[in-house]
């Protein structure tokens, strides 16, 4: 199948080109030319399938012309080697726990799949140059990408992060990942890191000498596997109640709208979700768009849900490519925005009333779901991170300490390798070429 650019339907690429380029040459985002609609019979039987079985079947529908069946089977089964349970929290309200992967955040699904798919294409081109993945991070993305690509042959990952800008646990999650991951501590801010990476991608001379690629959610291969868990949530809901499965909504904590774009893709494939609730923190660009019809990026501000601090949601073009104008978007997506106090309040309240602990990102989505639910509807909130990843706000909200899960402790025990470089593009360029 070909992948077209959201800026121009006639600019297309193969799957391999789309994933190694990341962004289309005209600055658009790649989208599949055809979105396969799943047969009704398949959806009716989905309740009996495991997460991996669903993932493999969906991957086959989307990628069978581009990836051999055996290899695709291994890529999917290896990506999804952790559970994604639909956990009942309150009457008619569930959390889809996407945080049982190696870095305990939802990005594990997309990055593990992307890493394995890139490795597959590299293995089929003997003599291919090493591919260098550059990731600026304020915490979570770097950890997920480093772990998604750790030990993947032919690929080296450089994680750029602000000195003093992230926690010790976050740094440990990528600085101890392995020999093909370099942790680059930058004497500057997160914005400096982002700029340095952007300049590297634009430096034609550098790009002739080494192969660079990106692993953010602009990469279509991160979005496809995220459709798997939407269908798996539906399968689990069917097993609980057919009635609930015929009348449900899904709430998502949104930043760059990657998760929302995957959800809409799943709906186009036939997921019978009534609508999505997209919930932002005070960086509410998409919420403003839903209200006013105008999409106006602006610099982001810090919050206690840091993975939502995005000022220019990159996947916006995909949302409108799939749904149309703002009127049509509003029919499928409702938007909300909450501040830090409201996040804390929600964590406290859900903990007291239901004995369930949400992380700040999941709490935002939960609050939006509660406000949007209509009588008779069932609500699913995507729980995108484990609460122990954000101990300070969560412990303050629930009034007691959280236990550190083994997965996170393991990172703290690993040997950390860090290189410190100056802020500014030259420091990065010199480091990459040395």
**Helices 406-413 & 168-175 angle (0-180, nearest 10):** 70
Binding window for ligand PLP (CB under 6 A); candidates: 31-39, 122-130, 171-179, 255-263: 255-263
Is 254 near ligand PLP (CB under 6 A)?
Answer: yes
* Position 176 contacts ligand PLP (CB under 6 A): no
Residue from 112, 116, 267, 361 in contact with ligand PLP (CB under 6 A)? 361
Residue 140 as a binder of ligand PLP (CB under 6 A): the answer is yes
Instruction: Report the candidate in 50, 45, 46, 49 with the shortest Cα–Cα distance to residue 81.
Output: 50
Interaction between residue 225 and ligand PLP (CB under 6 A): no
Q: What is the CA radius of gyration of the chain?
A: 21
Produce one character per residue of 348-366: b if its CB has 16 or more CB atoms within 10 Å, e if not.
bbbbeeeebbbbbbbbbbb
Collect all residues with Cβ–Cβ distance below 8 Å to 164 and sequence separation of at least 6: none
Establish if 217 lies at the interface with ligand PLP (CB under 6 A).
yes
Alpha-carbon distance of 344 to 357, in angstroms, equals: 11
423 near ligand PLP, rule: CB under 6 A: no
Beta strands in 144-275 (DSSP E): 155-162, 181-187, 211-213, 248-253
Compare residues 108 and 192 and give the one whose CB is closer to ligand PLP: 108
Q: Does residue 170 interact with ligand PLP by CB under 6 A?
A: no
Q: Is position 105 an interface residue for ligand PLP (rule: CB under 6 A)?
A: yes
Window 296 to 325, contacts with ligand PLP (CB under 6 A): 307-308
Number of residues forming the site for ligand PLP (CB under 6 A): 17
Instruction: Look up residue 48 and give its DSSP letter.
Output: G
Applying CB under 6 A, which of residues 16, 29, 122, 255 lies at the interface with ligand PLP?
Answer: 255
Least CB distance from residue 225 to ligand PLP, whole Å? 13
Tokens of 299: 């610099």
Neighbouring residues of 148: CB distance < 8 A, sequence distance ≥ 6: 107, 108, 110, 111, 112, 113, 114, 115, 215
The only residue of 32, 136, 225, 258 in contact with ligand PLP, by rule CB under 6 A: 258
| Cα(153)–Cα(259) distance, integer angstroms | 28
The verdict on 253 binding ligand PLP (CB under 6 A) reads yes
Q: Which stretch binds ligand PLP (CB under 6 A): 4-12, 72-80, 105-113, 185-193?
A: 105-113
Looking only at the bridges linking them, the beta strands covering 248-253 and 378-383 are parallel
Site stretch for ligand PLP (CB under 6 A), options 156-164, 257-265, 348-356, 415-423:
257-265
- Residue number, 175 or 255, with CB nearest to ligand PLP: 255
Q: Which residue has the CB atom at the shortest distance from ligand PLP?
A: 258
CA 371 to chain centre: 24
Q: Which is nearer to ligand PLP, 249 or 285 (CB)?
A: 285
CA distance 73 to 89: 33
Residues at the contact surface with ligand PLP, assessed by CB under 6 A: 105-107, 140, 217, 253-259, 307-308, 361, 384-385
């Amino acid at each position: 199948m070909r992948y077209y650019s959201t800026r121009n339907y006639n600019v297309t690429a193969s799957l391999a080109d789309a994933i190694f380029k990341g962004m289309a040459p005209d600055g658009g985002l790649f989208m599949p030319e055809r979105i396969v609609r799943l047969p009704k019979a398949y959806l009716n039987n989905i309740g009996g399938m495991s997460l991996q079985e669903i993932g493999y079947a969906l991957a086959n529908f989307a990628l069978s012309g581009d990836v051999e069946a055996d290899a695709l089977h291994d890529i999917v089964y290896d990506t999804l080697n952790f559970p994604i349970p639909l956990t009942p929290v309150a009457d008619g309200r569930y959390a889809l726990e996407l945080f049982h992967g190696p870095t305990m955040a939802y990005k594990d699904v997309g990055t593990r799949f992307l890493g394995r798919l890139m490795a597959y294409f590299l293995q089929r081109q003997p003599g291919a140059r090493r591919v260098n993945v550059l990731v600026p991070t304020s915490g979570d993305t770097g950890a997920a990408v480093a772990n998604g690509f750790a030990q993947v042959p032919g690929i080296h990952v450089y994680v750029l992060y602000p000195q003093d800008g992230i926690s010790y646990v976050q740094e440990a999650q990528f600085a101890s990942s392995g020999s093909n991951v370099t942790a680059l501590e930058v004497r500057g801010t997160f914005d400096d890191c982002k700029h340095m990476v952007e300049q590297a991608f634009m430096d034609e001379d550098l790009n002739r000498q080494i192969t660079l690629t990106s692993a953010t959610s602009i990469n279509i291969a991160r979005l496809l596997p995220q459709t798997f868990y939407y269908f798996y949530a539906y399968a689990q809901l069917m097993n609980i109640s057919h009635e609930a499965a015929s009348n449900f909504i899904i709430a998502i904590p949104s930043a760059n709208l990657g998760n929302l774009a995957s959800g809409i893709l799943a709906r186009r494939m036939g997921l019978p979700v009534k609508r999505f609730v997209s919930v932002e923190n005070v960086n509410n660009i998409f919420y403003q768009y839903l209200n006013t019809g105008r999409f106006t990026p602006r610099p982001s501000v810090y919050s206690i849900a840091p993975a939502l601090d995005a000022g220019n949601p990159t996947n916006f073009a995909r949302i409108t490519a799939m749904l149309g104008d703002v009127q049509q978007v509003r029919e499928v997506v409702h938007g909300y925005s909450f501040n830090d106090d409201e996040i804390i309040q929600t964590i406290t309240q859900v903990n007291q009333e239901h004995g369930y602990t949400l992380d700040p990102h999941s709490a935002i989505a939960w609050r939006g779901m509660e406000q949007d639910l209509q009588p008779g509807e069932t609500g699913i909130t995507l729980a995108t991170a484990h609460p122990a990843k954000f101990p300070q706000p969560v412990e303050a909200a629930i009034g007691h300490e959280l236990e550190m899960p083994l997965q996170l402790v393991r990172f703290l025990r690993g040997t950390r390798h860090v290189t410190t470089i100056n802020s500014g593009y030259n420091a990065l360029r010199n480091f990459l070429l040395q």
